[in-house]
């Protein structure tokens, strides 16, 4: 006999969202690594270390952007819901 309907939970559509604390902890770790790298670079220039510094700067900037997006999501809700509310308010204003 074949069962019909939903048989079990699946994580196919589960969205992975890191918490603000996780993002902040990663930023702090990379910032500490950047400070160590800058100390070494201040003693002598090395092209490989300079490239590492540039990649660290890019990664830190990316994490700050992720932090800002997550903070806005926590404060105001999902982006799609915000847009939907704004469009609904626009329609109400036009109708008035």
| Domain-embedded: residue 15 | no
Residue 11 domain-assigned (yes or no): no
Provide the sign of the torsion angle of the four alpha carbons 26, 28, 32, 34, taken in this order.
positive
pLDDT at position 80 is: 87
Q: Is residue 89 a part of any domain in this protein?
A: yes
Place of tokens 């806005």: 72
In a domain, 55, yes or no: yes
Asked if the structure places residue 4 within a domain, the reply is no
Number of domains in the chain: 1
Residues, the chain? 96
Residue whose token pair is 């589960």: 14
Query: Residue 88: inside a domain, yes or no?
Result: yes
- Note the pLDDT tens digit of each residue in 8-60: 555 544 455 688 999 999 999 999 999 999 999 999 989 999 999 999 999 99
Tens of pLDDT, residues 50-92: 999 999 999 999 999 999 999 988 888 888 888 898 899 999 8
Q: Is 22 in contact with 67 (CB distance < 8 Å)?
A: no
Q: H helices of the chain, where?
A: 20-43, 47-76, 79-95
Domain holding 54, by residue range, is 20-95
Assigned domain for 41 exists:
yes
pLDDT at 50: 93
Is residue 10 included in any domain, yes or no? no
Q: What is the structure's pLDDT at 12? A: 46
Tokens of 60: 């830190």
pTM, two decimals, is: 0.67
């Amino acid at each position: 006999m074949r069962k019909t309907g939903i048989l079990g939970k699946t994580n196919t559509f589960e969205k992975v969202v890191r918490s603000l604390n996780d993002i902040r902890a990663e930023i702090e770790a990379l910032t500490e690594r950047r400070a160590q790298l800058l100390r070494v670079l201040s003693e002598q220039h090395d092209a490989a270390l300079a490239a590492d510094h540039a990649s660290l700067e890019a990664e830190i900037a990316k994490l700050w952007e992720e932090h800002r997006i997550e903070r806005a999501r926590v404060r105001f809700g999902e982006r799609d819901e915000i847009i939907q509310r704004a469009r609904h308010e626009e329609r109400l204003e036009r109708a008035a």
